[in-house]
A and B are shown apart, each in its own frame.
Chain A
């Protein structure tokens, strides 16, 4: 492998021990002829894994699929060669006819898709799907031999291989199991190369650890070469020996894993690395610059505010002060008014208290409780005292928690989704709610916000019990709890402009004028660092990170006291995730709202939350200050989660 690492592009002949070699590959769009891959070259040796790293749109999947001689609709091959080793001979797959190419696909070079839920045929039993690939390539001499092979690969990927397991349909398996079926299918014909396209994106850490282990083991034990496409550098460190970093269709850096990850030469690699959240909180992921052009200047305005304590400068919603926004005749008015008061006073105050905690809040640019391990312990409660105290007067009824849930229960049939959950959020506090898929974390978030109204138990806002469903809650109560959804691709109405989407919650307040609302919308856009020019665009024109900012602006525009973020970064690239986390933390400090950050990514803990609650099968098994949970986890499950986090 070392022969092909450093200067892959120049030398002509393929080294003998190469399973896949891509030389000067160029791909262009058919529509306008624009090139999307500008001469990419890499090579993989048998038994090793090359990680192809880059963000969405960098062309890494296009490069990976070209390895199989496949170009998605709208793309065509314009130059370069792809040499695949077939029984020891290198064959240029792009020169072959379609039937010859099919012989290689799934046989000598196979593909593991990103989303197994979409890529397994939902109407075919999994055994039949694995068997099909063996059939097509004429593996083995008899049906029995092929069936034995199916059982064997199932075993190889750590799945049961009895008849009952093989007769299951994909929907009867969990996400991790589906992905292992995808790997089994790719591995069935003993290929020379496997192309794995983000196979663990969307899986939780324990499952991800299992899948990564399976992949490494298969590669090492059976001398299979792997091309592992990902945007997550922490995963790369776990699985790959070689790394190639892609940006906008070009390889910017390539080399041994140790060299690229620990002594990166290209600035882009360094930026990607700095965006990876780590459990220890040593890196401040808030430092990320706009890498993809996704964000116009994340940290510039923050610097000013965070350090000096005059945070009002750019993102302060002036509208809030001039015109009392949601006018409510009820008793809530006091609370609401005082909330708006918070959003003005807190920025001034919180950094002050924050600094007292040795940089937990206002460390460096990001205003993320990033480093300074020393002060982490007291930080959580300390910060929450700040806004509580400064909020002053009006909060007599709620000395403690702004949001308080007691003994929440919810069952679907016999399945107990929430099993007696109690938690409380203090004003200005950020809590991470951690759980794997199926743990009930989203259900809990939806119950708190009232989107699910069929729970038992009670949710209190400032000490007053809320009606279970949003429809029965008052406008004021709804305004004070806002929700940001997981996927910004589906939570924004594609036919509405950004401004129209953000304006929707403002319409709850009937006394505002269109001009006022427009002003508030523009202020909210400033707040999320998007800029006013985004107001009249539609979601289709925006990147994932920009869309999520719009969704956050929509939640913020009504100055909520509690913001519930449901897996808001899991659909986004690592570097975009960093900027969103950075933004949320900054906003939270500026406005003094409480935040519940629902996620499956424990590595974000120190970057976002003061307290951490771990949810398992509908129960909170661990809840304490973030540092305490991470350093002295009480529950076995928490320890397991922490152990499974990939790190650089």
Chain B
């Protein structure tokens, strides 16, 4: 039964990715500008433009171009960047790595912190600690990510404390993680954006679980409080939170665009902003597909975790 459910989720994911590829491809067609002219510049002669269009297949029917682009995706060929003239995959290789570093660090900090603070809030329901946590997370959740980033920059890298660099300035060819101090602000900003939702959801489900019959029963069995929380309450409270975590992680993939732009971080998001500015259609398509794929994969993982942790689905009744 479980295998069937997972296969079904997988098939749905594939269908979603196909739909996204259609959307991405035809949406980028609507972008103003001509890729051939973008590559050759304003001074190009009509002949050279025509030749390049022919070479890039721009004269083919739209559906043929879509299919060949889609086929390229399967073999890792994302096309040619108009800006650099080189393959898109080469351009993105390092940047994907840099973005993943940022996202993974943010997730590793935000998820446990969110769960801890949410649980703490639920346990101290109605007291000072709970009110403080609720207030702070509400404010953070209400602020756009660039505002949080700017506040942090003001606090830590300008007049108040000059502790951390506000922009990333790794020499070309060197990896971003060789300069850990430059990672601090972007990672903290992302974590602060993502964590509040996890905290609030965790608090809500934890309160519900703490009021449940089986938690009361565990206490009446004489189980120590710590074990009541860890063994009886937490596993049940986590299941709904896993969905929220998935959505937040997927959001990271998109949210990173703004953060990277803000901190001049050489990642995928920055590349996307540049590509849109340069009418670099192939790069825009590739990054959009990557972000979409990340969304789908993370949600798929959350679904699978949900299925696997539910004993009702794991065992036939």
Contact = CB atoms under 8 A, between A and B. Distances in A.
Interface of A: 65, 68, 70, 72-73, 98-99, 102-107, 110-111, 113, 115, 118-124, 132-133, 136-137, 168-169, 171-172, 185
B39 to A, nearest CB: 58
A389 B221 CA distance: 63
Contacts of B315: 168-169, 172
A119 B217 contact: yes
Contact of B312 (A115, A168, A171): A171
B222 interface: yes
Interface of B: 211-214, 216-225, 227, 231-232, 235-236, 309, 311-312, 315, 317
Nearest to A68: B220
Contact of A119 (B213, B224, B309): B213
A106 B222 contact: yes
B218 to A, nearest CB: 7
A171 B311 contact: yes
Contacts of B219: 70, 105
B223 A122 contact: no
B236 A102 contact: no
A132 B230 CA distance: 13
Nearest to B312: A171
Contacts of A185: 221
B224 A120 contact: no
Contacts of B214: 118-122
27 contacts: A65-B220, A68-B220, A103-B222, A105-B219, A105-B221, A105-B222, A110-B220, A110-B221, A113-B220, A118-B213, A118-B214, A119-B213, A119-B214, A120-B214, A121-B218, A121-B232, A122-B312, A123-B235, A132-B218, A132-B221, A132-B231, A136-B221, A136-B222, A137-B222, A169-B315, A171-B317, A172-B315
- Give the most central of B220, B236, B312: most A CB within 10 Å: B220
Which 4 residue pairs are nearest across A and B when measured between Cβ atoms? A118-B213, A106-B222, A105-B222, A119-B213
A171 B310 CA distance: 11
Nearest to B309: A123
Contacts of A115: 213
Given A106-B220, A172-B317, 16 more contacts: A68-B220, A70-B219, A73-B211, A98-B225, A102-B223, A105-B219, A106-B223, A121-B236, A122-B311, A123-B235, A123-B311, A124-B231, A132-B218, A133-B222, A136-B227, A169-B311
Contacts of A132: 218, 221, 223, 231
A97 B227 CA distance: 18
Nearest to B125: A73
A121 B233 CA distance: 9
A117 to B, nearest CB: 8
A111 B309 CA distance: 28
Contacts of A113: 213, 216-217, 220
B213 A107 contact: no
Contacts of B222: 102-107, 133, 136-137
A110 B218 CA distance: 11
Given A123-B236, A169-B312, A172-B317, A136 B223 contact: yes
A226 to B, nearest CB: 16
A124 B228 CA distance: 13
A104 B213 CA distance: 20
A105 B216 CA distance: 12
Nearest to A114: B213
Contacts of B311: 122-123, 169, 171
Nearest to B220: A111
Contact of B212 (A99, A104, A111, A118): A118
A105 B223 CA distance: 8
A326 B224 CA distance: 62
B220 to A, nearest CB: 4
B216 A119 contact: yes
Contacts of A119: 213-214, 216-217
Contacts of A65: 220
A103 B231 CA distance: 19
A57 to B, nearest CB: 19
Contacts of A102: 222-224
A469 to B, nearest CB: 27
A473 to B, nearest CB: 33
A56 B217 CA distance: 20
Contacts of B309: 123
A120 B212 CA distance: 10
Contacts of B221: 105-106, 110-111, 132-133, 136, 185
Nearest to B236: A123
Nearest to A125: B311
Contacts of A136: 221-224, 227
A45 B227 CA distance: 33
B236 A105 contact: no
Contacts of A106: 220-223
B237 to A, nearest CB: 11
A579 B162 CA distance: 77
Nearest to B232: A121
A169 B312 CA distance: 8
Listed residue (A65, A99, A115, A136) with the most chain B CB atoms within 10 angstroms of its CB:
A136
A73 B236 CA distance: 20
Most buried by B among A73, A115, A123, A133: A123
A628 B236 CA distance: 51
Most buried by B among A121, A132, A171, A172: A121
Contacts of A107: 222
A460 to B, nearest CB: 36
Contacts of A98: 225
Contacts of B223: 102, 106, 132-133, 136
B311 to A, nearest CB: 5
Contacts of B211: 73
A105 B317 contact: no
Nearest to A130: B221
Contacts of A110: 220-221
Most buried by B among A102, A118, A185: A102
A276 to B, nearest CB: 28
A111 B217 contact: yes
A593 B147 CA distance: 68
A194 to B, nearest CB: 11
Nearest to B210: A73
B230 to A, nearest CB: 12
A19 to B, nearest CB: 17
A127 B289 CA distance: 48
Interface centre among B217, B223, B236, by most chain A C-beta atoms within 10 angstroms, is B217
Contacts of A73: 211
A169 B231 CA distance: 15
Nearest to B227: A136
A104 B224 CA distance: 12
Nearest to B235: A123
A557 B63 CA distance: 62
B46 to A, nearest CB: 66
